[in-house]
């Protein structure tokens, strides 16, 4: 997945829970949740090569989308700012690392662990906010983080395996969201700049593969070529839907809907791909789900309190 971080989308968020916003958000999270089906179709192509194609094809579509959305001037301003480019180079490495591990996990029948990573990501965000933004954990948040930690520890003890995929995905995306929040940049423009920065590396890698006769594109079948080119659409379309949904929905609604994607990943892994789901997995996911329920209730309560709080009042 490449879910954008909870940042500014380029226009004010409207407190509107209309059908259009729900449908856009469902489309975005649905595509991200069902993406493993797509990437398994090109499971014979190494994950790093898939990511390189994703970057190259996505940058074309994202640049076009930025121009159509009249953000060309904003895009050029970001590209001319050397300090911002250095900052976005770091976020580009984080998001590409997230893509690589996620696609690798799909190709190697580790989707269940990947879904766990995206379940615990919101709780990782809470911890990062406490560590780097001086945000305080309230009682409910503290309980949620503690339960999630117990769940992960249970998996380590019961199976004797460190869940590196889940924790890597959660940490990479957590730090990505943290840095993008500090950058305060439009979501589409930010991802466009990141893919532009990654494109020279991706192109160089694909050229080297082609020169050595190891690249899949143009050397396999037409279906593989089309699927590799389609990775750009798999990046741009859900991002567009997410941005449209974010403009129409409350952040609390959008936050709850984000669990659609890992839930679909979970169902695909267990029901359709028959990945092992032991009692240890059940206990771990149960702890995570309870933690997320507490976290979501806390976030919903806080949003509701902010809406009903009289203007000018100061929270004690």
70-128 residue pLDDT tens: 888 889 989 999 988 999 999 999 999 999 999 999 999 999 999 999 999 888 888 88
d(CA 310, CA 292): 29
Q: Tell me the pTM.
A: 0.87
pLDDT for the residue 158: 85
Is 314 within the bounds of a domain?
A: no
Contact 165, 105 (CB under 8 A): yes
Only one residue has tokens 């059940």, namely 282
CA dist 155 → 17, 164, 279 (Å): 38, 11, 10
pLDDT for the residue 300: 76
Number of domains in the chain: 1
Confidence of residue 12 (pLDDT cuts 50, 70, 90): very low
pLDDT for the residue 4: 54
> Looking at residues 187-205, what average pLDDT do you find?
93
> Is the model more confident about 310 or about 122?
122
pLDDT for the residue 182: 81
pLDDT tens digits for range 246-255: 778 776 677 7
Contact 27, 238 (CB under 8 A): yes
> Is the model more confident about 140 or about 35?
35
> Looking at residues 17-29, what average pLDDT do you find?
84
Confidence of residue 309 (pLDDT cuts 50, 70, 90): low
d(CA 269, CA 134): 37
pLDDT for the residue 172: 94
Confidence of residue 214 (pLDDT cuts 50, 70, 90): confident
Strands (E), the chain: none
Instruction: Annotate 236-258 with b (16+ C-beta within 10 A) or e (fewer).
Output: bbbbbbbbbbbbbbbebbbbbbb
Residues 6 or more apart from 66 whose CB is under 8 A from it? 72, 74, 75, 188, 189, 192
Is 13 within the bounds of a domain?
A: no
Residues 6 or more apart from 68 whose CB is under 8 A from it? none
> Looking at residues 36-54, what average pLDDT do you find?
95
| Best CA proximity match to 309, nearest among 301, 135, 7 | 301
| Best CA proximity match to 284, nearest among 153, 168, 170 | 153
pLDDT for the residue 3: 52
Is 5 within the bounds of a domain?
A: no
pLDDT tens digits for range 117-170: 999 988 888 888 888 888 788 888 889 889 999 999 998 888 788 899 999 999
| Best CA proximity match to 2, nearest among 118, 110, 107 | 118
pLDDT tens digits for range 149-163: 999 999 888 878 889
Is 2 within the bounds of a domain?
A: no
Chain centroid, CA 291 distance in Å: 20
DSSP sequence for 187-205:
HHHHHHHHHHHHHHHHHHH
Say which DSSP state 103 is in.
Answer: H
d(CA 197, CA 307): 40
H or E element, residue 145: helix 139-159
Is 316 within the bounds of a domain?
A: no
The proportion of the chain whose per-residue pLDDT surpasses 70, expressed as a percent, equals 90
Is 103 within the bounds of a domain?
A: yes
Confidence of residue 11 (pLDDT cuts 50, 70, 90): very low
pLDDT for the residue 313: 43
pLDDT for the residue 10: 46
> Looking at residues 311-316, what average pLDDT do you find?
42
Is 10 within the bounds of a domain?
A: no
Rg (CA), the chain: 20
Instruction: Annotate 186-214 with b (16+ C-beta within 10 A) or e (fewer).
Output: bbbbbbbbbbbbbbeebeebbeebeeeee
Quote the domain boundaries for residue 46: 19-306
10-14, 235-239, 301-305, range with the lowest pLDDT: 10-14
Contact 31, 261 (CB under 8 A): no
pLDDT for the residue 181: 80
Mean pLDDT of the residues in the chain: 86
Is 301 within the bounds of a domain?
A: yes
């Amino acid at each position: 997945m490449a879910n954008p971080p909870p940042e500014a989308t380029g226009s004010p968020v409207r407190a509107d829970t209309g059908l259009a916003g729900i449908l856009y958000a469902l489309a975005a999270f649905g595509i991200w949740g069902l993406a493993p089906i797509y990437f398994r179709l090109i499971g014979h192509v190494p994950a790093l090569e898939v990511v390189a194609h994703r970057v190259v094809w996505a940058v074309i579509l994202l640049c076009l989308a930025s121009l159509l959305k009249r953000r060309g001037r904003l895009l050029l301003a970001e590209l001319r700012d050397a300090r911002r480019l250095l900052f976005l180079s770091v976020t580009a490495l984080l998001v590409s690392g997230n893509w690589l591990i996620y696609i690798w996990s799909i190709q190697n029948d580790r989707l269940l662990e990947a879904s766990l990573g995206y379940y615990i990501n919101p709780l990782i965000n809470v911890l990062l906010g406490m560590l780097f933004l001086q945000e305080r954990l309230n009682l409910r948040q503290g309980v949620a983080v503690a339960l999630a930690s117990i769940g992960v520890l249970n998996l380590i003890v019961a199976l004797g395996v460190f869940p590196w995929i889940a924790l890597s995905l959660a940490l990479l995306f957590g730090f990505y969201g943290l840095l993008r929040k500090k950058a305060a940049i439009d979501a589409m423009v930010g991802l466009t700049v990141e893919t532009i920065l990654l494109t020279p590396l991706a192109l160089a890698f694909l050229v080297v593969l082609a020169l050595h006769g190891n690249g899949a594109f143009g050397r396999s079948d037409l279906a593989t070529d089309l699927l590799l080119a389609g990775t750009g659409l798999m990046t741009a379309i859900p991002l567009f839907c997410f941005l449209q949904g974010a403009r129409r929905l409350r952040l609390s609604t959008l936050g709850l809907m984000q669990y659609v994607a890992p839930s679909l990943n979970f169902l695909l892994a267990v029901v359709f791909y028959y990945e092992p789901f032991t009692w240890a997995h059940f206990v771990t996911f149960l702890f995570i789900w309870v933690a997320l329920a507490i976290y979501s209730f806390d976030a919903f309560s806080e949003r509701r309190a902010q809406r009903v709080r009289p203007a000018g009042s100061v929270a004690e």
